[in-house]
């Protein structure tokens, strides 16, 4: 997180295209929301003092107010027929719902207790004029688009999208659509990473697949560093003779992290190439998925200008046993379900780092601390996917 450079370039974005963008400046309410006192119900606006203190009261209707109308001052000893969202007329201080009244010959009879301000939404009760209702660094969600629109704001200042260079390494990799050949496999990692980056609103510089050759790896990484804000590669970061990414980073720049004490995902490289940050993710597809979600995602969010970047965890009762004490912190692919007595979490039967189907079956990661044993019914710490993917 300390290495994540906050964005500098700002651009104007139409509100309809703002989903997922990050605010570069706070948004200030130009007027109160709602702009006027208005009715929360279909009913009748009146002065409370015009109601009898005991028994029923019958009053004539002096005006009819729909949403968007400009009402006149309420005549004494009368009511205004009013609809939800319509402005309260001057002089009125109470609204009584239509189902709590009786209409006959143009006159309304009330016989229920009422109080001043009943069913009235006050001007500014949602947002006061001049209030900063969204702060810089907020990532725009659908509901925020509605809130911004409610303030009459059509264009917002956002940080430029993060440019991420994406490349894969491996002589064995084929792109989908090609005929499968002996010794080859399809490049699933490239598409997993592309989807994860798209979900975070990144601009992807697609460098494709490069072979397991040091000179080619050096050239590809050096070229990526000239155009991108961040480089992410998959594969080539382990200790094999054909894993050249670690060597290339050390020659071109600096390597700050190489190994993690987690499972899956031990081989992860983080450093920089010509001052451009770099993530080298493992080649095993589940390891890549887990390390991206846990490490690359919060880094990318911070580099987009977002403050809250760490995923929130929840405590759930385990529906499984985990009896083997491990030396590494484990992240098990798991599924949250709702049972009769509360929520539970189950784990996928195959937890190997190559079982990509586990990430589709799952909706969460369950954390197993080093040296821990889990018995069904124990509370375990879980990270839902909606805290890791979007």
Say if residue 325 is in the same domain as residue 188. no
- pLDDT confidence of residue 183: 84
Say if residue 208 is in the same domain as residue 318. no
Say if residue 218 is in the same domain as residue 299. yes
308 found inside a domain: no
Say if residue 192 is in the same domain as residue 289. yes
Say if residue 149 is in the same domain as residue 21. yes
Q: How many domains does the chain have?
A: 4
Cis peptide before 34 (omega within 30 of 0): yes
2 found inside a domain: no
Say if residue 286 is in the same domain as residue 383. no
Residues 121-145 have pLDDT tens digits of 999 999 999 999 999 999 999 999 9
Average pLDDT over residues 360-379: 97
- Chosen domain end from 284, 303, 322: 303
Q: Among 144, 148, 128, 117, which Cα is nearest to 34's?
A: 128
68 found inside a domain: yes
- pLDDT confidence of residue 242: 56
Say if residue 108 is in the same domain as residue 204. no
Say if residue 208 is in the same domain as residue 263. yes
Distance CA 90, CA 92 (A): 6
In the 3-class helix/strand/coil scheme, how is 238-251 assigned residue by residue? CCCCCCCHHHHHHH
DSSP annotation of 363 reads: S
- pLDDT confidence of residue 340: 78
The answer to whether the CB of 74 falls within 8 A of the CB of 92 is yes
- Chosen domain end from 121, 146, 173: 121
Average pLDDT over residues 162-167: 95
355 found inside a domain: yes
Residue ranges making up the domain that contains 216: 163-303
168 found inside a domain: yes
172 found inside a domain: yes
- Chosen domain end from 303, 336, 360: 303
Say if residue 69 is in the same domain as residue 15. no
Say if residue 176 is in the same domain as residue 61. no
Say if residue 113 is in the same domain as residue 241. no
The CATH number assigned to the domain holding 285 equals 3.40.980.10
- pLDDT confidence of residue 250: 86
- pLDDT confidence of residue 50: 95
309 found inside a domain: no
- For residue 179, pLDDT over 70 is answered with yes
- pLDDT confidence of residue 111: 86
Mean pLDDT estimate for the chain? 93
Residues 213-267 have pLDDT tens digits of 888 888 988 989 998 999 999 886 665 555 678 888 888 999 998 889 999 998 8
- pLDDT confidence of residue 240: 54
- pLDDT confidence of residue 258: 85
Residues 150-162 have pLDDT tens digits of 999 999 999 999 9
Cis peptide before 383 (omega within 30 of 0): no
- pLDDT confidence of residue 91: 97
The CATH number assigned to the domain holding 44 equals 2.170.190.11
281 found inside a domain: yes
- pLDDT confidence of residue 196: 98
The CATH number assigned to the domain holding 23 equals 3.90.105.10
Say if residue 17 is in the same domain as residue 155. yes
- pLDDT confidence of residue 210: 86
Neighbours of 115 (CB within 10 A): 8
User: Given phi > 0 = left and psi -120 to 50 = alpha, else beta, which region is 342?
Assistant: left
């Amino acid at each position: 997180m300390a290495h994540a450079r906050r964005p500098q370039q700002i651009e104007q974005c139409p509100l309809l295209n703002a989903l997922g963008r990050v605010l570069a400046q706070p948004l200030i309410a130009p007027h109160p929301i709602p702009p006027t006192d208005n009715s929360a119900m279909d009913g009748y606006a009146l002065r409370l003092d015009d109601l009898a203190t005991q028994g029923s009261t019958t009053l004539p209707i002096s005006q009819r107010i729909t949403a968007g109308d400009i009402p006149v001052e309420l005549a004494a000893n009368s009511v205004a027929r009013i609809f939800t969202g319509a402005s309260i007329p001057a002089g009125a201080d109470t609204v009584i719902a239509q189902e709590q009244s009786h209409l006959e010959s143009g006159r309304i009879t009330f016989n229920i207790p009422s109080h001043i301000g009943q069913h009235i939404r006050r001007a500014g009760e949602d947002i006061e004029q001049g209030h900063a209702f969204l702060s810089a660094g907020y990532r725009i969600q659908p509901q925020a688009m509605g809130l911004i629109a409610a303030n009459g704001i059509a264009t917002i200042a956002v940080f430029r999208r993060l440019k991420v260079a994406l490349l894969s390494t491996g002589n064995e990799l084929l792109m989908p659509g090609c005929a499968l050949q002996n010794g080859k496999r399809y490049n699933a990692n490239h598409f997993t990473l592309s989807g994860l980056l798209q979900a975070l609103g990144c601009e992807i510089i697609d460098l494709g697949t490069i072979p397991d050759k040091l000179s080619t790896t050096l050239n590809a990484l050096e070229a990526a560093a000239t155009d991108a804000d961040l480089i992410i590669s998959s594969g080539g970061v382990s200790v094999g003779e054909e894993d050249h990414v670690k060597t290339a980073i050390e020659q071109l720049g600096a390597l700050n992290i190489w190994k993690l004490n987690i499972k899956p995902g031990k081989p992860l490289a983080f450093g920089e190439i010509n001052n451009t940050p770099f993530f080298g993710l493992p080649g095993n597809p589940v390891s890549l998925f887990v390390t991206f979600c846990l490490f690359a995602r919060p880094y990318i969010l911070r580099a987009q200008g977002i403050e809250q970047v760490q995923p929130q965890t929840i405590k759930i009762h385990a529906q499984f046993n985990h009896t083997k004490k491990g030396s590494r912190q484990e992240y098990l692919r798991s599924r949250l379900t709702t049972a009769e007595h509360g929520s539970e979490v189950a784990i996928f039967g195959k937890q190997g780092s190559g079982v990509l189907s586990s990430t589709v079956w799952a909706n969460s990661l369950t954390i197993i601390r080093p040296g821990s044993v889990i018995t069904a019914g124990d509370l375990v710490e879980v990270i839902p996917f909606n805290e890791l993917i979007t």
